[in-house]
């Protein structure tokens, strides 16, 4: 008879985006609830020769192979969609090419969508599963659209369908991010959103969607209505951290200005990106170059 492992990490596995973090949480929980559980005990169940192997995986020293993934799944006692999710999460984390990562990310999303626990217990996350939910939350409370969902849909840029607009309003009302008064007007329950506690994979997916909207905007929106710029820089770690502080400070100031704006005319999306386009290197000294 196969042993069933009861573990809070397993119950929340669909919220994980890093399999090493999942394994670390799994081990910590198992050691807390079981006196016999140890690295050696797990290695014996999995058929690993070294009791420190899985610890090395958690610390990032080794990757899991297809064979060791199956052994790990068996030792954890997980089956079905939970096992499928773990396997694809490993492949997603260890993928080196963006196309490969995209393939496994889509598989993870499909498993999440088909999982009943996710559908029933995480309704509050629906509003960040599509980029236009955030936009509709703003537009619906600034315009008297008189429950004309076609009109509301056409105010979104690029336009969405009438059904998408209706679904967005229904969900935003259901989870309390907007409310409707006795006169049929919509209002926000708070001026800004708190995204703390949202599973990382959902935020990652949302950011990707918003970046794609930005790419489209460069092509279809006149430059008089948008601001885009780019610079290729060389930075030390200290300079990078300084740049992040400056950008975050600017972002907060712009948000503050937005919150105090009494006459808004459009909804904008602001994406700020600063990322490496090379691996770390040691700069060759000028003296050595001139010799």
Q: What is the pLDDT of residues 68-121, one digit of tens each?
A: 999 999 999 999 999 999 999 999 999 988 788 889 988 998 898 787 544 434
Query: Using alpha carbons only, how large is the chain's radius of gyration in Å?
Result: 24
User: Are the CB atoms for 30 and 47 separated by under 8 Å?
Assistant: no
First to last CA, the chain: 73
User: Are the CB atoms for 140 and 218 separated by under 8 Å?
Assistant: no
Q: What is the rounded average pLDDT for all residues in the chain? A: 88
* Of 2-16, 129-143, 194-208, the least confident: 2-16
The domain of 77 spans 8-111
156 is a domain residue: no
- Please indicate, yes or no, whether the overall pTM of this predicted structure exceeds 0.75: no
Q: What 3-state DSSP class applies to 130?
A: coil
Q: What 3-state DSSP class applies to 282?
A: coil
23 is a domain residue: yes
93 is a domain residue: yes
21 is a domain residue: yes
* Of 1-10, 150-159, 166-175, 234-243, the least confident: 1-10
Length of the chain: 291
107 is a domain residue: yes
Residue 187 parent element (H or E): strand 186-188
* Of 32-46, 47-61, 78-92, 110-124, the least confident: 110-124
61 is a domain residue: yes
* Of 146-160, 185-199, 221-235, the least confident: 185-199
Q: How many domains does the chain have?
A: 1
């Amino acid at each position: 008879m196969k042993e069933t492992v009861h573990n809070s990490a397993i119950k929340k596995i669909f919220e994980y985006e890093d399999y090493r973090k999942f394994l670390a949480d799994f081990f910590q929980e198992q050691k807390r609830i079981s006196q016999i559980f140890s690295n050696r005990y797990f290695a014996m169940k999995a058929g690993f020769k070294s009791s420190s192997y899985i610890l090395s995986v958690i610390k990032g020293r080794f990757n899991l192979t297809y064979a060791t993934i199956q052994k790990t799944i068996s030792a954890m006692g997980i089956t079905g969609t939970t096992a499928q999710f773990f396997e694809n999460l490993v492949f997603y984390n260890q993928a080196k090419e963006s196309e490969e990562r995209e393939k496994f990310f889509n598989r993870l999303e499909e498993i999440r969508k088909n999982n009943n626990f996710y559908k029933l217990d995480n309704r509050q996350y629906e509003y960040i599963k599509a980029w236009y939910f955030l936009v509709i939350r703003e537009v619906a409370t600034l315009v008297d659209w008189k429950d004309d969902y076609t009109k509301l849909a056409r105010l979104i840029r690029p336009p969405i369908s009438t059904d998408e607009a209706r679904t967005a309003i229904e969900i935003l009302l259901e989870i309390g991010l907007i409310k409707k008064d006795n006169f049929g007007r919509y209002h926000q329950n708070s001026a800004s959103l708190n995204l703390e506690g949202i599973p990382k994979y959902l935020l990652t997916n949302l950011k990707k969607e918003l970046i794609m909207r930005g790419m489209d905007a460069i092509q279809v929106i006149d430059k008089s209505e948008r601001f885009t710029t780019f610079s290729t820089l060389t930075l030390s770690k200290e300079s990078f951290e300084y740049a992040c502080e400056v950008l975050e400070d600017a972002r907060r100031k712009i948000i503050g200005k937005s919150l105090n704006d009494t006459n808004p005319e459009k909804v904008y999306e602001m994406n700020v990106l600063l990322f490496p386009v090379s691996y770390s290197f040691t700069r060759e000294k000028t003296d050595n170059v001139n010799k």
